[in-house]
Amino acid sequence: MRNLLKLLYAYHFLLLFIALEIICAIFLFRYNNYHSASFASTSKAISGTFYKQVTDFRVYLSLRETNDALAKENALLRNYLKNNYNTFDTTRIHVRDSAFSQLYHYQEAKVINNSVNKQYNYITLNKGKNHGIKPDMAVIGPNGIVGVVDGVSENFANVVSLLNLKFKVSAKLKKHNYLGSVIWEGKDYEYCTLNDIPQHVVLQKGDTVVTTGFSESFPEGEVIGTVEDFNMKDGNFYHIDIKISTVFKSLQYVSIVEDLKKSEEIQLEKLKEND
């Protein structure tokens, strides 16, 4: 205590000076509007900076929880995305024309599953029974034929791809109208084979091969591919390699073809068989 008093006495001049200046400062900031406003804004800026640092640090600490919350919200929002929903748009466009009756109806579909590397390749489309899709309908892409609908569920259709050993379609050379049949031999997803073209036909590389419209649901004249190479096997027929014009690896949107007069045709053909 004694030492403290000694110390106070030793520094009494400095202490008195500081005390008086503090009194002055109190008066200055209390009774002068400008100075008090200035003091307030400065002190608020300082405390604001400090609090910002603290808040930043606190936010950093809770980053994990924030991330979890955001991920949950993302998942929730993703459930609302349009891509997740199948359309229920089943409107069909019929062209009413008294001079021509419509033979084929085209419907857009999106490829949602596809493969090219198996022996039996199938494609899944996002249209099904609800959209009027039935088995045996033809599927064509922007560049050429894709396959035939095999099975349908409520909202999806399974398509036998051209790249399937089960697939077979009647085809012809566009130039000559000679009939043959196109199959895939399971070797290369870019090439298929045209058989049953007789050897006396003059072939050229680059000739276009199209569908006939005879057996399956394909309309006539849909492109299958172009002649890449041909050779004569034993027998009377060519073995023709065809470059498939549909690019199966990047297939996204296709058209499903409905043959509107097919039932009539089948009925007629049955009638004949009965005779």
Partner 1 sequence: MIRAINGVVIRFFFLVLLQVLVLNNIQWSGYLNPYLYVWFILMLPFETPNWLLLVFSFILGFSIDAFSNTWGMHSAACVLMGFVRPYLLKIIAPREGYDTSVQPVLRDFNLEWIIKYSLILIFIHHFALFYIEVFKFSMFFHTLLRVIISSLFTFVLVIISQFIIYRR
Q: Is 70 in the site for partner 1 (CB under 8 A)?
A: no
Tokens of 158: 């399974």
Task: List the one residue from 10, 26, 45, 260 that touches partner 1 (CB under 8 A).
Answer: 26
Q: Is 59 in the site for partner 1 (CB under 8 A)?
A: no
Task: List the one residue from 7, 11, 27, 232 that touches partner 1 (CB under 8 A).
Answer: 27
Number of residues that bind partner 1 (CB under 8 A): 19
Q: Smallest distance, Å, CB 2 to partner 1?
A: 21
* Cα–Cα distance list, 252 to 50, 123, 143, 171, 188 (Å): 56, 11, 12, 25, 20
Q: Smallest distance, Å, CB 68 to partner 1?
A: 48
In Å, the largest CA–CA distance within the chain is 137
Alpha carbons 243 and 228: distance in angstroms, whole number: 6
Q: Is 88 in the site for partner 1 (CB under 8 A)?
A: no
**Cβ proximity to partner 1, 34 vs 80, nearer residue:** 34
Alpha carbons 67 and 65: distance in angstroms, whole number: 5
Helix axis angle, 33-61 to 63-79, nearest 10°: 70
Interface map 1-20 toward partner 1 (x if CB under 8 A) = -----------xx--xx--x
The interface with partner 1 within residues 32-51 (CB under 8 A) comprises 32, 34-35, 38
* Cα–Cα distance list, 167 to 66, 148, 149, 182, 193 (Å): 54, 8, 11, 8, 11
Q: Smallest distance, Å, CB 5 to partner 1?
A: 15
Q: Smallest distance, Å, CB 28 to partner 1?
A: 3
Q: Is 28 in the site for partner 1 (CB under 8 A)?
A: yes
Task: List the one residue from 23, 46, 59, 268 that touches partner 1 (CB under 8 A).
Answer: 23
Instruction: Residue 168: name the closest of 125, 215, 210, 98 by CA.
Output: 215
| Amino acid at position 228, single letter | E
Q: Is 68 in the site for partner 1 (CB under 8 A)?
A: no
**Cβ proximity to partner 1, 9 vs 51, nearer residue:** 9
Alpha carbons 83 and 94: distance in angstroms, whole number: 27
The number of angstroms, rounded, from the C-alpha of 60 to the middle of its chain's C-alpha atoms is: 37
Binding-site ranges for partner 1 (CB under 8 A): 12-13, 16-17, 20-21, 23-32, 34-35, 38
